[in-house]
């Protein structure tokens, strides 16, 4: 068990900043009604290290603090004594080991998206907001019991080579990935938003997937043109 005090100063500083950020972003899961009680969790890589920070298991959101965020290696083992890491840590860690481009992982049981997961049905890319953020349908991954690599393996198998940053794990809930925790949280927020919209639309009639050429054009615009140019004050 490595004592955090033995880490180089720059690593300790990066770790502290990541703990602060990951703790603060958990408030976005409750703000957008994506979680109930202690469900859900966020993790992020600590820059320049083979460490991650993840939510402690079973701690209510109002009791989360930066210091309670658990520091683990890429196999999900805590590197110091303290809180027990999320029960989904194995899944997060598997994603980090097999998708090096992923900087953060989020897990929720958000209502509408989890209803699609309960049916094992992908959310069809039927609205422009889906094309913007997901660039495709939101896919379904296989059901897997918690603990071990099965959930993580299903996430990686489903999202590798897929434009969507979100996957609906069958009969379980949502996992999203991103370059950083804010991106992965945004994907979770948008996943629930579009799952609700398409669900409500389908209650009153069929929904139709957008033409692929339109999905591609919308995705390219949103990912590469939308918003403020990088580096401009906004
Ligand atoms: O979905 C599961 C397990 O897969 C929940 O227990 C999870 O959302 C919350 O667990 P943690 O409190 O992070 O251990």
Examine the predicted complex and report whether its ipTM is higher than 0.90: yes
Q: Is a pLDDT exceeding 90 seen at residue 112?
A: yes
The rounded Å distance from CA 89 to ligand 1 centre is 9
Cα separations in angstroms, 198 against 129, 170, 188, 205: 11, 18, 16, 10
- Please tell me the distance from the alpha carbon of residue 198 to that of residue 123, in angstroms, as a whole number: 7
- One DSSP character per residue, 172-187 reads TEEEEEESSHHHHHHH
- Indicate the pLDDT class of residue 2, thresholds 50, 70 and 90: low
Q: Is a pLDDT exceeding 70 seen at residue 28?
A: yes
Contacts of 205 (CB under 8 A, 6+ apart): none
Q: Are 195 and 118 in contact (CB under 8 A)?
A: no
Angle at 130 between CA 144 and CA 102, to 5 degrees: 55
Cβ–ligand 1 contact at 107 (below 6 Å): yes
Closest-CA residue to 163 (of 212, 119, 111, 94): 212
Cβ–ligand 1 contact at 87 (below 6 Å): yes
The predicted structure's pLDDT at residue 7:
86
Could you identify the atom of ligand 1 that is nearest to the CA of residue 59?
Answer: 12
User: Could you report the per-residue pLDDT of 116-150, keeping only the tens digit for each?
Assistant: 999 999 999 999 999 999 999 999 999 999 999 99
Cβ–ligand 1 contact at 38 (below 6 Å): yes
Q: How many CB atoms lie within 10 A of CB 67?
A: 12
The predicted structure's pLDDT at residue 229:
80
Q: What is the mean pLDDT of residues 3-15?
A: 87
Tell me the pLDDT of the chain averaged across its residues.
96
Q: Is it true that domain 4-224 has CATH number 3.40.50.300? A: no
Q: Is a pLDDT exceeding 70 seen at residue 3?
A: no
User: Could you report the per-residue pLDDT of 173-231, keeping only the tens digit for each?
Assistant: 999 999 999 999 999 999 999 999 999 999 999 999 999 999 999 999 999 999 998 77
Closest-CA residue to 93 (of 60, 45, 47, 49): 45
- Please tell me the distance from the alpha carbon of residue 6 to that of residue 8, in angstroms, as a whole number: 7
The predicted structure's pLDDT at residue 230:
72
The full set of domain ranges for the chain reads 4-224
- Indicate the pLDDT class of residue 113, thresholds 50, 70 and 90: very high
Q: Is a pLDDT exceeding 60 seen at residue 62?
A: yes
């Amino acid at each position: 068990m490595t004592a955090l005090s033995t880490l180089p100063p720059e690593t300790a500083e990066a770790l502290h900043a990541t703990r602060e950020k990951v703790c603060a972003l958990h408030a976005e899961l409750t703000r957008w009604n994506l979680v109930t009680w202690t469900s859900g969790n966020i993790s992020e890589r600590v820059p320049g290290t083979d460490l991650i920070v993840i939510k402690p298991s079973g701690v209510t959101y109002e009791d989360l603090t930066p210091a309670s965020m658990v520091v683990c290696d890429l196999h999900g083992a805590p590197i110091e004594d303290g809180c027990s890491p999320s029960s989904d840590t194995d899944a997060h860690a598997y994603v980090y080991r097999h998708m090096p481009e992923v900087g953060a992982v989020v897990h929720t049981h958000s209502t509408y998206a989890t209803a699609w997961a309960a049916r094992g049905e992908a959310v069809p890319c039927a609205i422009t907001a889906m094309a913007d953020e997901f660039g495709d349908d939101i896919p379904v991954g296989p059901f897997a019991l918690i603990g071990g690599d099965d959930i993580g393996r299903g996430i990686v198998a489903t999202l590798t080579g897929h434009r969507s940053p979100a996957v609906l794990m069958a009969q379980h809930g949502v996992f999203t990935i991103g370059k950083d925790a804010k991106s992965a949280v945004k994907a979770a927020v948008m996943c629930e938003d579009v799952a609700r919209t398409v669900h409500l639309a389908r209650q009153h009639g069929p929904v139709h997937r957008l033409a692929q050429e339109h999905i591609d054009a919308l995705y390219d615009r949103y990912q590469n043109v939308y918003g403020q140019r990088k580096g401009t004050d906004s």
